[in-house]
Amino acid sequence: MFESHISKSRSQIVEIYGQEKNSTFLVKMKIQIIINHDHQILYSKNGTTFRIDQLDNDQKQYELLTNLDQIKTFQLVGDFGQDKRKCGRWQGIWDGIALCEVAGYYEKGVKQGIWNQLFKNYQSNNIIYECGEYSKNQKIERWKYIFENNEIGGGLYSEGCDQEKIGKWIELDDGFHNFKKVRYSGEYKNGKKIGIWEIWHDKNIKNKEAIIIGGGSYDELGQGIKIGKWFEISDAFNDESQVTYVGEYKNGAKVKRWDIKNQNEIIGGGLYNENGDQSKIGEWIEISDKYSNKLQITYKGQYNYGNKTGRWDIKNKDKQIGGGLYDEAGQGVKIGQWIDICDEFYSWSKISYNGEYNNGQKVGRWNIMYENQQIGGGLYDEASKGSKIGQWIDICDEFYSWSKISYNGEYNNGQKFGRWNIMYENKQIGGGLYDEACQGIKIGKWVEISDGFTNQSQVTYNGVYNNEKKVGRWEIKDKKKIMQFYLFIKKTKSNFLVVVDSMMKKAKELKMGNGLILGMDILINLKLHIMVLIYSVKRLVNGIPYYIGMGINRLVVDHMIKQEKKLKLVNGLIQPMDFIMILKQFMKVNTIMVKKLVNGLLSLEVIMNFPFNGGGLYEQDKGMKIGEWVEISDGFYSDSQVFYKGQFQSGNKSGVWEIWFQDERNNKKKIKIGGGLYGKGIKIGQWIEISDEFYSDFLVVSKGQYINGKKVGMWKEMNIENQKVTKEIQYDE
């Protein structure tokens, strides 16, 4: 957990770490932190609120979460005293499971005593804790870092109230992750780094396979100033992008030549002024934050005393993909026509922005391009500070070939207002209203898309916003299934109408018959027609066994069989004429029945089994989930349609929760595959859970017991198709 001050202004943009779609690496991203009039902290991005935390009334220091996974999944739960401040033991909860290693005590709203808490970038696939002691909310004595049950770092804090680090320390990189196991080792004096510090890269922490990849010296006077030769790593350093910067420091400022290297190969760099102001001069080749072996984005041009000037080119593996001019006066502002690339530029997301700059501000028309095709854009105000105005087509932050999401609506002085539509491959899939006061606040009915919306997982959330909060009933829908359902109905209706037309044609032909000979001919034709009709309707009924109950099958087919049996008793003219009357009446009833089926009056089971629907209620005032909910799994997609059904109380899961799976291979049948009990948001008692990799070809669950959110005793892993146990794991009691 990361402790930070935040001003009491209405909102503030902060930088956090998050994991991008289709990536294993952590990257920096910006979100909005809002403190509202109800003394709550709201974490929001693109108008969607991820989390709401209630603050103590007199709280001055706020604990901000700086990892997107934590913002969405982590809760610290405990009691409040009569003074409405935190007190007693507080427990960490991760998606309903108690993190037994994460807990500590509050006294009058401040941390006191031994605490185990999350490292700032803890997430489900990056389990790191920091453990130590607090005194009146200040860290004291020894603190240590734990990663995969191994102590990998830490050091001492002073006894005073200033929370200063002292002595030998091993620190973790802010972005420490499974694919960026980087640590720094050296010494602190009065909270300042001194002497030699080394940068280590761990290939295997258990086997202690670590190598020094960089480092350098801090001054011995304890001012925390870098001096001499340094080997530094890039912010985006990871197993696939081992970029380092090599050069010299003088009194804490970079001087002379600095080289940018990727696995010891020089890929860029340039000169720093030697006067100590750390300004770049002359020709430079810089790299993007996400430089890797797969995406080698570079920027090449001239610096004039720290400011870019003249022509700058943007290249990917020596192929020019963008660029433009900076002013010659050395102010470092963009001018004229430019092609910018998006921050998330990848081989599968080649997004660029084409337009004009005037003194560093975007003006006039800007187009958004994807692989040389225009997919969006709009106007910037020429009189103000580059604010968007009028009609715009924006794209989502993570626009990919399999997730082509855009937003269509209007801006006023840079703020969205009025109706905005969410589009997927040029088809509207959602949207809603922003307030007319141009504060960018969502109001009224909205259809939003899930974070992981792709061609394989088209999930939407439908409901109402009031004062920036979700209120009332919100529904979760699978847009892809709804479209398939519509196409199915359309095709089925067409097939049914062919049958109805054929039946009506035969009925008309029967009216022309009279006489014994014709009657006998009619009998033969009728019997043949009935056999064909029975076969057709059987095919019709059997053709949609996933959707129509056996009751309808018996109703239609059994009645026709009875009628055919009656025909076997026929002789003479009277019986054929009676039969004709019966058949006409039957055709009339059958036609009405088929039409009802077409119109959906008898398609209840179709609706029940085809498109997935979920959702539940939000409390009007606090925006918390309450009552019965149906939620989808984090990895919900066509081959892993897993959803959860249960109750919320005051924002926490409570009572019995069931786990359901809709099997695409088995007639799209919904089956209950697991579940268990929650008590105050913590799993308790017997549970059956799905595996992390659960999908239609890997139907594996695990069965065992929870005590206060902790797995205990024997847990068995099994395949639900054959009930064969594949693994047994023993947990401590």
- Over 60: is that where the pLDDT of 604 sits? no
The last residue of one of the domains, among 571, 606, 641, is 606
- Mean pLDDT across 663-687: 83
> Same domain, yes or no, for 643 and 725?
yes
Model pLDDT, residue 528: 54
Q: What pLDDT, in 10s, does the model give residues 399-434?
A: 766 678 899 999 998 899 999 999 988 889 999 999
Q: Which of 113-127, 267-281, 388-402, 717-731 has the lowest mean pLDDT?
A: 388-402
Assigned domain for 599 exists: yes
> Same domain, yes or no, for 681 and 647?
yes
**Which of the pair, 337 or 61, is modelled with greater confidence?**
337
Assigned domain for 528 exists: yes
> Same domain, yes or no, for 592 and 528?
yes
With beta carbons less than 8 A apart as the criterion, state whether 176 and 119 touch. yes
> Same domain, yes or no, for 410 and 490?
no
Under DSSP, is residue 516 helix (H, G, I), strand (E, B) or coil?
Answer: helix
Confidence of residue 337 (pLDDT cuts 50, 70, 90): very high
- Mean pLDDT across 496-517: 49
d(CA 629, CA 470): 14
Question: How many distinct structural domains can be found in the chain?
Answer: 3
Return the exposure string of 50-66: e unless at least 16 CB atoms fall within 10 Å of the residue's CB, then b: ebbbeebeeeeebebbb
Model pLDDT, residue 489: 44
- Over 50: is that where the pLDDT of 688 sits? yes
Model pLDDT, residue 309: 96
Query: In the chain, pLDDT over 70 holds for what percent of residues?
Result: 75
The last residue of one of the domains, among 575, 606, 637, is 606
**Which of the pair, 497 or 79, is modelled with greater confidence?**
79
Mean pLDDT of the chain: 80
Assigned domain for 121 exists: no
Helix (H) or strand (E) holding 685: strand 682-690
CA angle 502-505-509, nearest 5°?
Answer: 140
CATH number at residue 405: 2.20.110
- Over 90: is that where the pLDDT of 254 sits? yes
Assigned domain for 521 exists: yes
Helix (H) or strand (E) holding 18: strand 11-19
CA angle 209-213-219, nearest 5°?
Answer: 125
Model pLDDT, residue 380: 95
d(CA 499, CA 487): 19
Domain that holds residue 523: 480-606
Assigned domain for 209 exists: no
d(CA 295, CA 288): 9
- Over 50: is that where the pLDDT of 5 sits? no
- Mean pLDDT across 705-720: 89
Model pLDDT, residue 228: 97
> Same domain, yes or no, for 580 and 642?
no
Confidence of residue 384 (pLDDT cuts 50, 70, 90): low
> Same domain, yes or no, for 521 and 484?
yes
Residue written as tokens 């919900």? 636
Q: What pLDDT, in 10s, does the model give residues 161-215?
A: 678 999 999 999 988 988 889 999 999 999 999 999 999 998 877 667 789 999 9
Helix axis angle, 516-542 relative to 559-567, nearest 10°?
160
- Over 70: is that where the pLDDT of 41 sits? yes
- Mean pLDDT across 289-317: 92
> Same domain, yes or no, for 367 and 401?
yes
Model pLDDT, residue 425: 85
Model pLDDT, residue 568: 45
Assigned domain for 291 exists: no
With beta carbons less than 8 A apart as the criterion, state whether 548 and 496 touch. no
> Same domain, yes or no, for 413 and 513?
no
At residue 492, what are phi and psi to the nearest 5 degrees?
-65, -40
Beta partners for 29?
A: 16
Confidence of residue 467 (pLDDT cuts 50, 70, 90): confident
Model pLDDT, residue 458: 83
> Same domain, yes or no, for 425 and 542?
no
- Mean pLDDT across 134-147: 94
> Same domain, yes or no, for 641 and 587?
no
Model pLDDT, residue 148: 84
At residue 565, what are phi and psi to the nearest 5 degrees?
-60, -40
- What 8-state DSSP symbol labels residue 85? S
Q: Which of 147-161, 356-370, 655-669 has the lowest mean pLDDT?
A: 655-669
- Over 90: is that where the pLDDT of 323 sits? yes
- Sequence-ordered list of residues with C-beta below 8 angstroms from that of 591, at least 6 positions apart, any chain: 500, 503, 504
Model pLDDT, residue 563: 53
- Alpha-carbon distances of 42 from 39, 76, 86, 444, 650, rounded to whole Å: 10, 16, 19, 19, 17
Highest mean pLDDT range out of 350-354, 567-571, 595-599, 664-668? 350-354
Model pLDDT, residue 624: 80
Model pLDDT, residue 269: 98
d(CA 393, CA 414): 14
Confidence of residue 454 (pLDDT cuts 50, 70, 90): confident
Assigned domain for 65 exists: no
Strands (E), 125-275: 128-135, 138-147, 150-157, 165-172, 182-189, 192-204, 209-218, 226-233, 243-250, 253-262, 265-272
Model pLDDT, residue 640: 81
Chain centre to alpha carbon of residue 106 = 33
Model pLDDT, residue 392: 96
- Mean pLDDT across 521-540: 50
**Which of the pair, 20 or 407, is modelled with greater confidence?**
407
Query: In the chain, pLDDT over 90 holds for what percent of residues?
Result: 40
Model pLDDT, residue 493: 45
- Over 60: is that where the pLDDT of 588 sits? no
Measured over the CA atoms of residue 221, residue 227, residue 233 and residue 236, the dihedral's sign is positive
> Same domain, yes or no, for 508 and 597?
yes
Beta partners for 153?
A: 145
**Which of the pair, 403 or 573, is modelled with greater confidence?**
403
> Same domain, yes or no, for 634 and 602?
no
The last residue of one of the domains, among 606, 640, 660, is 606
Q: Tokens for 253?
A: 């400022």
Assigned domain for 363 exists: yes
